[in-house]
Structure 1
């Protein structure tokens, strides 16, 4: 098969690494890719917002499957345009991608389908939203309705923080994404990420993970796109997985089919595991980043077989098996992140780090001559496995410590919840 992978981050590097291992693969292309992906695929300088150019490339290179990594092209309808042109694609339609593209759309679906989630209200003006916050009090959650690159959510512990978040949205801090705001109840519990491959009818459970959103150790500082993750998530017991499928995933597939937007692709449920069971925080319609990296490390199956089954409506006939080992990834970020990251600093020691047995997935790098340099906020995903999360954590940080990058930083406590559980025998 000839495959085109769309995207340029750590998630896409992990997907490229796994797809490249498939015996079914003939040629793998990536648009636009990055220096790490270039080791697995031929990178092509396509504008992923130019759907006509992507379709022309697919026709020229006889692409058998397009795998869409990031959310923005899906919300923009790339899957629809490819399908109309006769190109097979892994990823949801524009209508189905509203599950990520509009927080309000998802909350309304939850209300119709009785899916457990926090109580909410939708607002198109700051005055009404502010008044609602004042009646509800804090803690409370404020979300820009649209795509905001992982930065449009404020978990406000005070009323003042919530009011500031509302003002930021309506003042244009997130562009069009903040033209509407969802204000919802604060949920108490432990967060987990749950993934399913879907084909419109069938949902195949596809692993669990837990990520670390805040920039600093001890879950302090501002939210980020994710500073690390591990898999599996101990809080996602067999019982919790079964409940999540029955109470959240299956009603979502039914609800999407009912409105004529059957969901195909990967459905990523961000969950809060409360005393009453799983509650939906949000849906994403693509693999998580950095959760994808740890899932790919643990997946036994040929990923390309599973992606094809999703695209062809055949998921009922395949299965996903997982290695017993835990996997853990640490994000190395450029100083200044999640504000304005410092770009252009040289990164050395990557071969030495990989020599420990870790996989180094590139997230925001570029080449300057023969040198790898930082070219984004989240720059590297250092990823390793172990028999326990504690062992995976030790192996990952051993690799991190081989990387010579004075202008980068990382959290030193990724996996802390699971490590504490293991220490206590929980």
Structure 2
């Protein structure tokens, strides 16, 4: 089949590469000129994706911020598309709207309030003291380090951060949400949707957003993920299942994820991700026994691909370079740009473009990588290089495999978290089982 992949910032390159390696013809468009060299040498690249929609049997979009509208328009023309709609784009971009939709569907949500004025938010917290979380909405929500989780029961630390944001980000943060903090296990639940219903097993995953081990430091997009697959468990029934009819009315096609706080009192969704999560989708690729190309082709046509997955657990570790998670072109130029990537298990005699493209080390999922002159190199501008995954019957085994593979990577100045998956082992898994939320 012919697959056309469309990305804003080059996030979906590993998927395009995997589909190509499954024997299909692939074309890949990255709209951001600064990121266009990502996956050079891995797949065929095109500049204007709209010129190739007639060629494509299936079109796959990777992000929101307007792509849902494009997907919706193509779908109306009879094109088989994996992608969102204007409505599902808004679920992620407008946090307050997403919370309203959850509440309207009969799903429990935490108390929250949206603001467009910092002074008004400060005054409201003083009148309603509690522990809160700050969540910017709109485009600026992609700056993940702006999400702040308060610790003080009177909200005084949140007030201090709001005043700081007012000085430094006041012209960029147009809307933000103040949400009451809840203690418990942070867990995400997701599944594929084929335009009519959720299909396949349910993905239970645990994001690790802070930069340093122990959940310390600035928030990033993601430093790693651990996950497992289940049947349609209690978390699914309390969150995704009530949304099924709405998503069917929209004709949504793709992966739908809800990040939640879970405790003995209930399940409280925090935010939507109506698209692939990164690096969650790489762990899903690793665990799927059904080819990812068949999953995309079938759900784009309203079919059930009968997704089969490996039992057990998966762990994904993000390998990064400076200046991630910050933006600093000079630092990127000095420490990351065009840096060569090697593997201890691959001797120089095997360093040919053909060999590595077809026989990459196990568990290596490329992100900002290109291949030039038989050499993998760092591409793009972010410093997010790759995700290395591992699987096992237990979370401990999956961690051991993943970190053994990370040790195989040769990349000067790289860094990563060494505690991905520990939260499950140290008690979060036991809590979820004790509370009954993973029961099928």
TM-score range, shorter chain: 0.7 to 0.9
User: 1:98 deviation in Å?
Assistant: 1.2
Distance 1:291 1:324 in 2: 16
Distance verdict in 2 for CA 1:39–1:335, change over 3 Å: same
Partner of 2:282: 293
Q: TM-score, normalised by structure 2?
A: 0.81
SS in 2 for 1:81: helix
Match of 2:252 among 232, 253, 263: 263
Say whether the 8 Å CA contact 1:211–1:230 is kept in structure 2.
Answer: yes
Match of 2:63 among 66, 70, 89: 70
Q: What pairs up with 1:30-109 in 2 under 5 angstroms?
A: 30-32=28-30, 37-38=39-40, 41-44=43-46, 46=47, 53-59=48-54, 62-75=55-68, 77-109=69-101
User: 1:326 deviation in Å?
Assistant: 2.4
User: 1:139 deviation in Å?
Assistant: 2.4
Partner of 1:123: 115
Summarize deviations over 1:292-317 as a string: whole Å, max 9, x none: 111110111132333233222334xx
User: 1:285 deviation in Å?
Assistant: 0.9
Partner of 1:2: 2
Say whether the 8 Å CA contact 1:144–1:181 is kept in structure 2.
Answer: yes
Distance 2:168 2:372 in 1: 35
Distance 1:409 1:339 in 2: 14
Task: Out of 216-225 and 4-13, give the one that drifted further.
Answer: 4-13
**Aligned residue-pair number:** 404
Distance 1:168 1:285 in 2: 31
Alignment partner of 1:226 is 2:232: no
Distance verdict in 2 for CA 1:165–1:264, change over 3 Å: farther
Distance verdict in 2 for CA 1:78–1:165, change over 3 Å: farther
Summarize deviations over 1:120-144 as a string: whole Å, max 9, x none: 1122222222222223334211111
User: 1:161 deviation in Å?
Assistant: 3.8
Summarize deviations over 1:47-97 as a string: whole Å, max 9, x none: xxxxxx3222223xx11111111233435x221333355432101111222
Q: What pairs up with 1:189-228 in 2 under 5 angstroms?
A: 189-204=184-199, 205-228=201-224
User: 1:286 deviation in Å?
Assistant: 0.7
Structure 2: stretches of 5+ with no match in the other structure: 347-355, 434-440
Task: Out of 179-188 and 156-165, give the one that drifted further.
Answer: 156-165
Distance 1:179 1:397 in 2: 41
Q: TM-score, normalised by structure 1?
A: 0.84
Alignment partner of 1:181 is 2:185: no
Structure 1: stretches of 5+ with no match in the other structure: 47-52
Distance 2:238 2:170 in 1: 32
Give the alignment's Cα RMSD to 1 decimal.
3.2
Distance 2:36 2:426 in 1: 36
Distance verdict in 2 for CA 1:35–1:188, change over 3 Å: same
SS in 1 for 2:318: strand
Distance 1:424 1:149 in 2: 32
Distance 2:370 2:17 in 1: 18
Alignment partner of 1:157 is 2:155: no
Say whether the 8 Å CA contact 1:142–1:184 is kept in structure 2.
Answer: yes
SS in 1 for 2:12: helix
Summarize deviations over 1:193-229 as a string: whole Å, max 9, x none: 2211123431224422212111101111111111111
Say whether the 8 Å CA contact 2:288–2:310 is kept in structure 1.
Answer: yes
Alignment partner of 1:282 is 2:288: no
Distance 1:55 1:356 in 2: 31
Distance 2:171 2:100 in 1: 23
